[in-house]
Amino acid sequence: MLHCIWRQSSRLAGGSRMGADAYDMIECPACHLTVRAQPRCEICGSPMPTVAPEAFEPDLAPEPDGDDPEARADLPELEPVDEIPPAASAPADAQTPASDAILEDSRPDGGRQPDPLPVPEPVVVRQQKTPPPPAPLGPPPFPATGKPSANAITRRLFTDFEFKGRMAKRAYWRMFAWRAAAALIGALLIALDEDVQYGEAGTLAILAFVAVVVIAVSGLAEASRRLHDTGKPGLWNLLVLIPYVGFLPLLYLLAQDGQPHDNPYGPPPAAEV
């Protein structure tokens, strides 16, 4: 017992050094000594009762009513504040030169309105038409298959006056045979005309003579193209003017094979039957 009292006195002495308000002090139910509020007693080790903290009681004093003259007497008096007159608003369009300068400086490019972007003009794309291939010189050739019609042969006899271009050897000799036959028939018609026998040219003889001349000119054009095919100029036709033997070298030139490539007179002629 004395030992417990000594421990209690030493603890109380130490607690007095820390201050009276440092701990909550309660009485132990076992040893009836005043100790700090802990789960167990510091003296005898018995469990201590739980001490509920004091509930906070707010001050529920009524607020002073504004209508109460006593409450208003306690309030400090406020000094009157002079009213500030509203600033006169200037019209929107009325700006001073200084404000204009400030606005101009704040805008990009010195306040100038940006130039409108140019509207691009529509680009019209015109498709270039491919020029058609050049038409071959001379009359149209005979069909490559089958036999030429009488109409095609007659048209070639009397309308072939093209001196430019080239003519294949086989097509030339075919037309040469038809041309010789037509000239022979014309000569027979002239000889059989009775008016010619009496020294007067009849209508039939005149028509036959004109036909023979047309056929001869057409044959001269075809001979020129045949010479072009061999690479010779058409002036070689003048060999026929040499009496008796002039036609022999001309026939030799006309019988030569044509050049398979392009020459100064044009591309190779189309194949003809």
User: Could you tell me how far CA 115 lies from the centroid of its own chain?
Assistant: 28
- Report pLDDT for 21: 46
- Report pLDDT for 55: 53
Q: Are 221 and 162 in contact (CB under 8 A)?
A: yes
Query: Which bin fits 195, alpha (ψ -120 to 50), beta or left (φ > 0)?
Result: alpha
How many residues are recorded in the chain? 273
C-alpha–C-alpha distance, residues 267 and 167, integer Å: 10
pTM: 0.44
Backbone angles phi, psi at 36, to 5 degrees: -70, 150
CA 141-144-148 angle, to 5 degrees, is 65
Burial of 169 (0-12, 13-18, 19+ CB in 10 A): middle
Looking at residue 58, the DSSP 8-state letter turns out to be -
Structure tokens, 233:
């100029």
- Report pLDDT for 20: 43
Looking at residue 198, the DSSP 8-state letter turns out to be T
Intervals of the chain under pLDDT 70: 1-23, 51-115, 125, 127-129, 131-148, 194-202, 271-273
Please, what's the largest Cα pairwise distance for the chain?
198
Contacts of 249 (CB under 8 A, 6+ apart): 239
* Residues 158/162/166/168 CA torsion (nearest 10 deg): 0
Burial of 251 (0-12, 13-18, 19+ CB in 10 A): exposed
Rg of the Cα trace of the chain? 70
Burial of 231 (0-12, 13-18, 19+ CB in 10 A): middle
- Report pLDDT for 187: 82
- Report pLDDT for 18: 46
The one-letter amino acid at 221: A
